[in-house]
Structures are given as C-alpha cells and as structure tokens.
Copies of this chain bind each other. A is one copy, B any other.
Amino acid sequence: MTNSIRERVESLREYMRRNGLCAFIIPSTDPHQGEYVPEHWQTRKWISGFDGSAGTAVVTLSDAALWTDSRYYIAAAKQLEGTPFQLMKEGLPETPSIYDWLIDVIKNEKLKIKNEADGETVNGQWSMVNEKVVGIDGDVFTADEIQEMEEVLGKAGIKLRTDLDPAEELWTDRPPIPKNKVEIQPLEFAGETAESKIERVRQTLLDRIKNEKLKIKDGNADACPAGIVISQLDDIAWLLNLRGSDVHCNPVFVSYVLLTLNDVTLFIDSEKLDETVRNYLKGIGVKVKPYGPSPNLSLVGRGADSSSAKVTTPLPTRERLGEGLVSSLKSIKNDAEIEGFRKAMIRDGVAMVKFLHWLKPAVEADGETELSIDRKLTALRAEQPLYRGLSFDTIAAYGPHGAIVHYEATPESDVVLEPKGLLLLDSGAQYQDGTTDITRTIALGPLTDEERLDYTLVLKGHIRLALTRFPDGISGTQIDALARYAMWQHGINYGHGTGHGVGSYLCVHEGPHQIRHTWKPAPLHAGMTVTNEPGIYREGKHGVRIENTMLIVEDGETEFGKFLRLEPLTLCPIDLTPVIWEMMTQEEVDYINNYHKKVYETLSPYLNEEERNSLPQPLQRRGE
C-alpha cells in the first residue's frame, strides 16, 4: 500500500511539472458539498491512504503533508506511516496553517531549484522559478474557499490554477460516478409540481436581485445574475421532484442544475434517465446535457455552452444571490410533505415499538450485540410499506460507547449487551413519504445515580425546548440554551448542536436552519422540520441523548408578532424508568403524559395487544 502511495505521489509530481505547478491541494469534499462523498471523489484517500472523513492533502515537488483534526490523530498517524505524507494535527498551536506551510515550502524549493538550475532546465522548472502556481480542482471547493486561497496565496506572490483534476488522468482504477437510475417523486408526496417550484425559485431570485440593488453591495448592474448554478444534490432532487440512489443513505443523484430566468438545464449522465423520466423532464421544459465540470455562471446569457466551462473565478455578488436560495424554499414543507412525515412517523414508530418490546427480553436471553440489534431494528423497519432504506448508519452504542458521539459499531468494536446500564440508539429511515431521525436511550437494567441524573437532565432539556413558544423568524441559536438550561445548572454541557432540519425523503441533515450554540443566522419559520436532541456524554462511562424530529408550527399572533412552537412528529415512547421524578416539574410530567397519550392513540391500531400493552400508561401526576 505505502509503496503505491509513493508511486501515486510521484505521478502527481510529474503531472505538476508538466503543468508548471509547484503544489497541488486535495481536500476531502466532492463537487456537491454532500455529507457522504461517493468513492469517485475520494481522491484525498487515494493519494494519501488516509480514509478519515475530514482531511486535506498537500503535495509539493519535494514535500507532502496531510491536515486532519483531533478525531483522526491516531488513525491518520497509523495510515500515513511509510508514506511521503507528514501528519499535520489541526487545532494544535504548533501546527502551521496550510497556507503558512505551503508558502514557506514553496519559497525554499524555488531557491533550491534556482541554485541547481543550469540556465535552461528541463520540465519547465526554470519558468517555475519565476512563476509560482498552486493547483486545485476548482469544482471541489466553494467559491468562498477559492476566493480566500487566491487572496492569501496572491499576497505571497503565488498564483492559483483551478481547472485541473489530476485524478482523472492518474487514478487509473478510479471508481466511476454511480449510474443508478433516477425516479420521479410522485406529486402526492412532493405536494408541488417542479414547474411551480422553478417559478418560485425564479421569483425569489428576482426579489433578491431587487433587494441587492437597493442595498447595492456591488456598483455595476451586470452583477445581477443571469441565473444560478445548483450543485447541492438534495436541492436538485427537491426542485425537479426526482430521487436517486447515488449516495449512501441519501436518495439523490449526481448532477448539476443551471437555472436561468429563461430555462433550466440538468447536467447528468443520460444513462441514469429512463424514457419515463426523459419524457417527464421534457414535459416540464428541462433541458438535459451531459454531466461534466460545474457549469460556469459567468458565461450564462453570453450564449456560451455552459456544460463545458469551469468556475475559474468566483462571482461574489452572483454567488451570494443564489446562496441557500433553493435550500430555504425546500426547508418549508408543504401540506403533502407534512402529511407524508406524519404517515412515515407512524410506520417508523411501529417498527421502533416492536423493537423496544423485543429488546429487553432478548438482551436478558443473552447474545445480542450492538450490531445484532442494529440488524434487528433495520429488519423491522424494512417490513414497513414505502421503506426505501436507512437515512444514516445506525448508532447503537452500549455503555461507554454511548459517550463517543459519532460511534458506529464495527465487528472489532462490537460488544454484547448486558441487562444493565444505558444503550444509546440513534437511527432513522428513508420512506418515500418522509425521512425519520430518532434517538432513544434505553435502560437495559439497573443504572448508576449518575446515569439517572444525566438522563433526567437531558429529558428536562428536551421537554423545555418542546414547550417553548418563540417569535417567528428568530435564529435557532437564540433558543438553543433552553435545551441546556437544566444541565447547565448541574455544571454539564454538550458540544454538538441541538437540532437540524430533516428532509422529505431526502437528506437527514437539511439546512439552512439549525438549533445550535454557535451562530446560525437562518430564521426559524412554520413548516420547517427540526430535531430536538440534547445529550450528555461521560467519557468511559455512558452517553444519553433523547431526540424527536419536530415540526415548527404557528402558535398564534399577538400585538408583538407571530409566535411559533415545536410539535413532535416522532411517535415512540420515551423510557421513563431512569427518570428521577422529584426533579421534574408538573408541567414537564404533563408534557410526557400528553406525548405518550398521543403515541398510544396513534400507534395502537397498528400493534398487537402485547405490543400495545408494552406502551407506557400515562402517569396521573408527578412521581406516581
């Protein structure tokens, strides 16, 4: 392996010399800013051998380094052993930034080359002494990133070239871009035709141009965009009412959309489109062109064939205008989508109840492990109508594993579940009418006082947020503290966000809004989905997280404006055995009772008597 890595780096350097580059930067992203990167774009893994989800490889003519964060210090160190790459531990004060390192290394290499150079050197090295050029594949960086790079490197006299993808030539056994078939998302689930969505996008774009001109961040008129490039795959799937299966757990398909005020072009491998879909697209007036490098907005309206162009310079105002436009329209669910969520949540709840009913006896009967219960739960979900797969890889984390926020059981890490302690179970599925995301923490038997305290504090936070009425249009950052208040009083906190949007048979993590301690300006509005998932994690001991997917609903209008609140979409009992009732207010107890009443009434028609009886009966009052 390390040998082939060395060969790959050498081949890249040869490529760099041919193209007059003194360095190449390879990130871990793909051209569609997705959470999961298809194998085809895992170039950073190919060149370095490091397979973590986050990392950036930089190769110069004589040097090579890989930056990654603390999650991967150990794994990366092991995987980079014997390769030309030195590990750069992001977040440590002594670690130089990529820019610092790059600028220093290049300066020194230049001197070396200059000194060795005998007047007219081969491989254009001589020109490289005078010209310093760093290469990237412009498609796998955002416009902002490219702009920053150009600024920083520019100040150091280094040029940036953005139109190269060495992997295309050097990565001989590069996995192809998936060619899975695209299917139409029926109107009964989508709730709005693609034509209507396209019209709304154009209208919003025009409004933004108008506002932009009023605020005039940019003096010249032609900053008004001829259109927008849509590269985020779930935005494209939503816009055109299409779904695919190119990306793990995400029903999307690799493509771009170029939407101008006059027409819409879908850039996609035509093999993915059967006749039905081709006719459908023709019917809604969407042109189809071959998938290639991202369309170049700057050429739009100047009659150029966009499909072959590359984004070479970012266009600040244009980009800004398109930014998050489709995502924010997508984030407000229509009635059909909401109806779909409710139905999907019933099916998902039924699967969860059947699972929970099965779990404890199975654990007591011995032999169940994190992986085996994962398989069991997945099987129960698969039995449900309209099931299309998981919405993310299940997190089944027992005991200390629960404290590892992104734990995913492997045959190596898998452990047997015992009738004691806490099991953290974060899972979700894709149904054609809705996506689910639920976390339950389950007492498999006796608990420590600390486990009960943490569980009760997380539950109090979850309920406080669910009970909060808040003004329309505020940021999720402004209500995040309500989920933390109870645990803060005990000197406890958690590092992750409290909530994220959930797609309608799309990505389980959907923007632009979030409920988060760090600043997320996107305003909250009725019709948005958002999770409510506070947690507490004690390293080496246990983890607690309780998550329902919620719908933001209107809650009346006063002289002070419109108000909103969160309504639970998820339908599944919350384990009450760990609760320290003396710590709960009557208001909180009432909330649980009402929630469990709703769960009981909605799910029981789909359960057998035994399962039905396994559901918690409403407690009459606190503690009882």
Chain A residues at the B interface, C-beta cutoff of 8 Å: 93, 96-97, 99-100, 103, 152-156, 213-220, 468-471, 474-475, 477-482, 485, 488-489, 491-493, 517, 519, 521, 538, 556-561, 563
Contacts and interface: CB of A to CB of B under 8 A. Distances in A.
Given A100-B213, A214-B100, A491 B219 contact: no
B217 A152 contact: yes
Given A485-B468, A491-B469, A538 B519 contact: no
A471 B489 contact: no
Main secondary structure of the interface of A (DSSP, over half): mixed
Given A471-B488, A491-B560, A560-B491, A97 B215 contact: yes
A573 to B, nearest CB: 27
Contacts of A481: 470, 478-479, 481-482
Contacts of A557: 491
Contacts of A93: 214
- Copies, count: 2
A491 B213 contact: no
Interface centre among A471, A491, A556 (most CB of B within 10 A): A491
Contact of A156 (B219, B492, B558): B219
A560 B214 contact: no
Contacts of A477: 477-478, 519
A485 B482 contact: yes
A468 B561 CA distance: 27
Contacts of A492: 558, 560
A74 B584 CA distance: 53
Contacts of A559: 538
A514 to B, nearest CB: 14
A400 to B, nearest CB: 15
B556 A491 contact: yes
27 contacts: A97-B214, A97-B215, A99-B216, A100-B216, A103-B216, A152-B216, A152-B217, A152-B218, A154-B219, A156-B220, A468-B488, A469-B488, A469-B489, A469-B491, A470-B481, A470-B488, A471-B488, A471-B493, A478-B517, A481-B481, A481-B482, A491-B557, A491-B563, A492-B558, A493-B560, A493-B561, A538-B559
